[in-house]
C-alpha cells in the first residue's frame, strides 16, 4: 500500500533476457538515506532505474510518495535527482549550464537556481570550476558536479548509483558530508554501492547479497 511516507516496491519482477534480476521483490523505502549494498550484478543499479522509471518492471508496481504516485516524465523533471555511475554531465555545457538546464526543466526560477547552485558548488568545493566544461575536470570533480546537479532541484527522491566508486577518501568525505547535512527535508535518498565508507551515513542498509541463491553467495564471498 503506498502512502506519502514510503517508496513501495510491490511484487517487482524484472529480467534482462531470460535471467531474472528481481522476481516478486517487495520493499518499502522510508525518507532518509538507504544504502543498497551487494556484489556486482545483484541488481542494485537496476532497482534504482526501476524506481526512477528508466526501466519498466515486467511485473509489479513502484509506488512513489505524493504527488508523484508512480514514475513519470514529470516526476523525472521535478521530483527526481539521479546520479549515474558515469557519463553524468552534458559535455557541451559548463557546470553552471548543466545545473541551469536541469533546474529550468524542474520549473525553478533562474534566481533560485543561481542561489542554490552557488551554495551547492561551495559545499562541494566546485566554486572555482562552475564555468568549466566537464571534459576539463577530474573524475571526482565530475562526480561531485553530478551530485550538485541532482540536488539543485531539491528532489523528493535522490538516487545515487555508486556515487563514490573510484573516488579517493577526500572526495568521498565531501560527498558523505553533503549527503548527511544538506538533503532536502523528507527526501528519499537511496544509494547503491559496495563502498563500506558510506555505511556510516545510512539510516538503513539493505544487503542484496542475501537475496542471492546460497551457491552464488558462497561463490561471491569466496
Quick one: DSSP state of residue 43? S
> Which is closer to another protein, CB of 111 or CB of 185?
111
195 binds another protein, rule: CB under 8 A: no
For another protein, the binding residue among 26, 105, 205, 218 (CB under 8 A) is 105
- Piece in contact with another protein (CB under 8 A), picked from 27-35, 68-76, 171-179, 184-192: 68-76
Considering only residues 17, 18, 91, 210, which one is a binding residue for another protein as defined by CB under 8 A? 91
Rounded to a whole number of angstroms, the minimum distance from the CB of residue 117 to another protein is 14
Q: Which is nearer to another protein, 101 or 137 (CB)?
A: 101
Stretch that binds another protein, among 33-41, 104-112, 189-197, 201-209 (CB under 8 A): 104-112
Instruction: Please say whether the beta carbons of 97 and 105 come within 8 A.
Output: no
d(CA 76, CA 13): 22
Q: Does residue 85 belong to the site contacting another protein (CB under 8 A)? A: yes
Which part of the chain contacts another protein (CB under 8 A), choosing from 27-35, 99-107, 117-125, 193-201?
A: 99-107
User: How many other C-beta atoms can be found within 10 angstroms of the C-beta atom of residue 103?
Assistant: 21
Distance (Å, whole) CA 26 – CA 65 = 16
Question: Whose Cβ is closer to another protein: residue 38's or residue 201's?
Answer: 38
Stretch that binds another protein, among 22-30, 77-85, 116-124, 178-186 (CB under 8 A): 77-85
Q: Is 141 in the site for another protein (CB under 8 A)?
A: no
User: Between 112 and 169, whose beta carbon lies closer to another protein?
Assistant: 112
Question: Cα 130–74–103 angle (5° rounding)?
Answer: 15
Q: Is 61 in the site for another protein (CB under 8 A)?
A: no
How distant, in Å, are the alpha carbons of 1, 167, 207 from that of 20?
Answer: 24, 31, 18
User: Where are the alpha helices (H) located in 16-108, listed in sequence order?
Assistant: 44-52, 73-74, 95-105
Coil, strand or helix at 186: coil
Q: Minimum CB separation from another protein for residue 75, in Å? A: 7
The correct pick among 9, 78, 156, 179 for binding another protein (CB under 8 A) is 78
In the chain, where does DSSP find H-type helix?
44-52, 73-74, 95-105, 110-123, 139-151, 169-181, 214-221
Question: How far from 222 is each of 5, 200, 215, 218, 219, CA to CA, in Å?
Answer: 39, 25, 11, 6, 5
Amino acid at each position: 500500500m503506498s502512502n506519502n511516507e514510503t517508496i513501495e516496491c510491490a511484487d517487482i519482477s524484472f529480467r534482462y533476457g531470460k535471467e531474472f534480476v528481481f522476481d516478486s521483490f517487495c520493499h518499502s523505502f522510508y525518507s532518509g538515506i538507504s544504502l543498497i549494498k551487494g556484489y556486482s550484478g545483484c541488481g542494485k543499479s537496476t532497482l534504482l532505474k526501476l524506481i526512477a522509471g528508466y526501466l519498466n518492471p515486467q511485473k509489479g508496481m513502484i509506488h512513489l510518495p505524493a504527488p508523484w504516485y508512480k514514475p513519470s516524465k514529470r516526476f523525472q523533471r521535478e521530483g527526481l535527482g539521479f546520479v549515474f555511475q558515469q557519463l553524468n554531465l552534458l559535455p557541451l555545457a559548463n557546470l553552471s549550464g548543466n545545473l541551469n538546464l536541469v533546474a529550468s526543466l524542474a520549473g525553478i526560477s533562474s534566481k533560485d537556481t543561481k542561489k542554490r547552485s552557488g551554495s551547492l558548488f561551495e559545499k562541494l568545493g566546485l566554486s572555482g570550476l562552475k564555468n568549466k566544461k566537464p571534459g576539463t575536470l577530474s573524475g571526482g570533480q565530475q562526480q561531485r558536479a553530478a551530485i550538485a546537479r541532482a540536488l539543485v532541484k531539491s528532489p523528493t527522491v535522490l538516487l545515487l548509483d555508486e556515487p563514490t566508486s573510484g573516488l579517493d577518501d577526500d572526495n568521498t568525505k565531501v560527498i558523505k558530508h553533503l549527503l548527511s547535512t544538506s538533503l532536502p527535508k523528507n527526501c528519499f535518498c537511496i544509494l547503491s554501492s559496495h563502498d563500506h565508507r558510506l555505511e556510516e551515513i545510512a539510516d538503513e542498509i539493505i544487503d542484496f547479497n542475501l537475496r542471492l541463491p546460497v551457491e552464488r553467495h558462497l561463490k561471491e564471498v569466496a
